[in-house]
Structures are given as structure tokens and as C-alpha cells.
Amino acid sequence: MGTKSSVHNKMNNHSDSQRRRPASPWVARFAGEIEPGGRVLDLACGSGRHSIFLLRRGHAVTACDIDVSAVADLGGEAGMEITAADLENDAWPFADRRFAAVVVANYLHRPLFPHILAALAPGGLLLYETFAAGNERFGRPRNPAHLLKRGELLSGILAGLTIIAYEDLTIGEPESAAVQRVCARKPA
């Protein structure tokens, strides 16, 4: 059975549908900008919601997290690679790899930005979305170390990339949160 069919079948599985939310509207909005069939790095992949979404769109996906047990059921899917890594304490596991896109949602560890940018292939797309200052009034995270400062994604962190879209706002779905998100492309 092909990747799209078998992933679709897994998505219809009751236990998977309960533990995996749909892809972020931000990721879904810009997924069409990723090189068709290009390999995508889903960094801090969590339950794998973006990995599944991108597999269904025909991309090969490398899903990475400190604990990959939530995506273990995807290990046999064609085009799926799962990497367990402590991104905050171990060496960057993708030093010699380049990706058509890097997707990061709800995760912030500032020292990784140079590695993330270096992991983008020429013409590669960065889809980054995480919590921002102001989120403390809605819940976790509250620690400023885990919240982007106002305009931080535009403050030079992404130097060398072309910003396609950027938002710094409060959202109400799936839960109220203060977020910043960016879609940016590395020059070809």
C-alpha cells in the first residue's frame, strides 16, 4: 500500500485521531510552497501531526524529538525517518543534511536557529510557529525563556532568508495563545 493510503488509514484509526490534532493552519497554509516531493524536517515533532500531514502531501519526512514514542507507529511508512535526539543537550544530528523545508511548531530553543537555517537546502522553506510574550496570561509556557519577544523572529535571527509571511498575534483556536509565526525561504 502506498504512503498516502496507509497514512490515511492510520489517521482514521480511533487512537491516532484522538491523540493527533490536525496540522497547524499556518503549516497547512504554506505547505504548498515546499518543493514537491522534497524531504522535510519536522523538528520537535511531538505526536507527528505535521509529519503525517506532509507525508500525505507526498513529502519524505524526517521526524525528530527527544521522545519519539508518539510517532513510533509511523516508522514503517514509506518516506518516513524517525530520529530521537535531545536537541538541547546533544550535538545537532543533521549537520551534514539539507532539507526542502524545516517545520517547527510550539518549540523554542534559541541556540538551534543557526543549525535550523543551515539545514535548509537552497530554496528551502522555514515554517516556524511558537509561543510569544503575552502567552503567560493564557497558560503554559509562561517562562520568558520559552516565549519569543515582540518581533524576535524579524530581529535578525533569520538573516539571509526572505520573509514570505509573518504574524505576531493572539489566536483563539485550538486554544487561546499568543504566537509568532513565520514563513521564510532560503535563497536558491
Q: What one-letter code names the amino acid at 23?
A: A
Q: What is the number of residues in the chain?
A: 188
Q: How far apart are CA 119 and CA 113, in angstroms?
A: 10
The average pLDDT across 102-131 equals: 97
> What confidence category does residue 2 fall into, taking pLDDT thresholds of 50, 70 and 90?
very low
Task: Find the CATH number of the domain harbouring 98.
Answer: 3.40.50.150
Closest to 23 in 3D by CA, of 42, 6, 3: 42
Cβ neighbours of residue 155 closer than 8 Å, sequence gap 6 or more: 149
Q: How far apart are CA 50 and CA 149, in angstroms?
A: 25
Question: Left if phi > 0, otherwise alpha if psi is -120 to 50, otherwise beta: which for 148?
Answer: beta
State the Rg of the chain over Cα: 16
> What confidence category does residue 68 fall into, taking pLDDT thresholds of 50, 70 and 90?
very high
Neighbours of 110 (CB within 10 A): 11
pTM: 0.88
10-19, 74-83, 104-113: the lowest-pLDDT one = 10-19
Q: Which helix (H) or strand (E) holds 103?
A: strand 99-105
Q: Beta partners for 62?
A: 41, 81
Please give the residue range of the domain that contains residue 9. Answer: 3-185
What pLDDT does residue 174 have? 79
What is the domain count for the chain?
1
The average pLDDT across 115-126 equals: 98
